[in-house]
Amino acid sequence: KNFGINTGGDLKGLKGEILFDKENLASSYMDVKVDVSSIDTDNKRRDAHLVSDDYFDVTKYPFIHIVGKPVAGTVADEFVLKARLTIKNVTRQVNIPFTAVAEGSGFLFKSTFEINRQDYNVGGKSAMLSDNVKVLLTIVAK
């Protein structure tokens, strides 16, 4: 939220490796990166500010990196990725709940989770800007 208003944005260009086998989660893992310079909030001026050193500093830290292993959830097709999330060279352990539904020769993964931007040194202290950020992931992997 910025000034109390929900502000959305997209990151594109997720690349990496996802090995997922519902029947053998022990051999499954995810190792993906997303290009932070691809940020699109439908506001070019805001996007330029977000990639600057005030926020993501893409010159030094061009990618957000997620590495982890999935574990079974409590409901069919629901799982948790026990992951290390790295933003701006800060790595934190996170649990990312997700669904995995077979789609064609691969899977459609969806997730919603929250992080605190301050944990990753993204942006400074601000009464106008929320510290908590809701992340929505949609990934089609083949």
Asked whether the beta carbons of 55 and 123 are under 8 A apart, the reply is yes
Least confident of 8-12, 74-78, 102-106, 138-142: 74-78
- Render pLDDT for 29-58 as a digit per residue (tens, 0 to 9): 999 999 999 999 999 998 999 999 989 999
Q: Which of 95, 90, 96, 106 is nearest to 22 (CA)?
A: 106
Quote the percentage of the chain above a pLDDT of 70: 95
Residue 116 pLDDT: 94
Residues 6+ apart with CB under 8 A from 80: 70, 71, 72, 73, 95, 96, 97, 98
pTM of the full structure: 0.90
